[in-house]
Structure 1
Amino acid sequence: MTETSAEARRVVVEREFAHPPEKLWRALTQPHLVAEWLMAGDIAATPGHHFSFGADWGHVDCEVITVEPERILAYSWAGSGLESVVTWTLTATATGTRLRMVQTGFTADNKLAYHGARAGWPRFLNALDAVLERVD
């Protein structure tokens, strides 16, 4: 699902995973796991922590903004002219965890990044699901 407005755009992706919140939290915050489904980087669930993600297309600089263990993780995402925020919200369900990812801050000048995020985040979450199936 994607929402747009005249002022700013955001990308929203929600998915139910058949795994508990603590397992998803590890996959969102442990660098070796994040590298398997998103990008290589030295992420840490510590407010104020600066880190970068890198891939063959380039890199983004990030800073952890919000940490509520096993519930909310938010970090800035800056690169290629884009200044945005990625927020992960985990909600326990009867069968696992509902994961909601929101990336905000896209402007009219960020069309390429916006369309890339709309296409990329669902693929990243497919890769996350594959990682979750493999790890304990």
Structure 2
Amino acid sequence: MSNREKYVPGSAAGAAVQKDGEKWTLILVRELRHPPAMVWQALTDPAHLSEWAPFDADRNLAAVGPVKLSTVGTPAPQVSETTVKRAEAPRLLEYGWGGNDLRWELEPLGSGTRLTLWHNIDRRFISWGAAGWHICFDVLERLLVGEPIGRIVGAEAMKFGGWQRLTAEYAKQFSVETPG
């Protein structure tokens, strides 16, 4: 049995929602054992992104400017032509994806990194977003420790053991309905 087959996401944790009327922002925090420079590479290098992120990038995200992000795991390819707005290695990264904003902040934490993601997301799907990023972060952690299990995104993530439970746990934490 591979590490991938053994993988089950842990309990919903490290997420919060900032509510501003209809505009909701998902805030996810994960403490990683690796230094910011290593985490930065995983967040910006297309070869690393293809191991854990829900999209592929047509260039390195470490520089400001236009970029194409292709969503993975969707029935039809979805390409977002977007812009990296801020890239301050190894501390801050901001860009758009699918009409929403992503902001990544990396803070040194001992010999590791506190990684925070802000993602404004349709409130009807905020528990799905939290569950999806939770799984992506788990896969990222395994990649960083040198035990990659391959990305788990989109429809495949929804088939994974623990997806329904994780979505329901986040929905309960955020006091929202679980998406149909």
Question: When the two structures are superposed, what TM-score results if normalisation uses the length of structure 1?
Answer: 0.84
Structure 1 residues 116 and 73, CA, compared in 2 at 3 Å: closer, same or farther? same
Partners of 2:133 and 2:59 in 1: CA distance: 18
Q: In structure 1, what residue type is equivalent to 2:92?
A: I
Match of 1:64 among 84, 90, 94: 84
Runs of 4+ that moved beyond 6 A? none
More strand as a share of residues: 1
Q: Is the 8 A contact 1:72 1:89 kept in 2?
A: yes
Instruction: Name the amino acid aligned to 2:78.
Output: H
RMSD of aligned Cα (Å): 1.8
Asked whether the 8 Å contact 2:57–2:67 carries over to 1, the reply is: no
Opposite residue 100 of structure 2, the aligned amino acid is S
2:132 pairs, out of 116, 120, 133, with: 120
Identical counterparts, % of pairs? 27
2:70 is aligned, of 42, 53, 62, to 53
| Aligned-partner residue type, residue 103 of structure 2 | T
SS at match of 2:141: helix
* Aligned residue identity for 1:117: G
Unaligned runs of 5+ in 1: none
3-state SS, counterpart of residue 40 of structure 2: helix
- The one-character-per-residue Cα deviations of 1:47-88 (angstroms, maximum 9, x if unpaired) are 11221122121435132111101000110112xxxx210011
May I ask how many residue pairs the two structures share in their alignment?
127
The answer to which of 29-38 and 50-59 deviates more is: 50-59
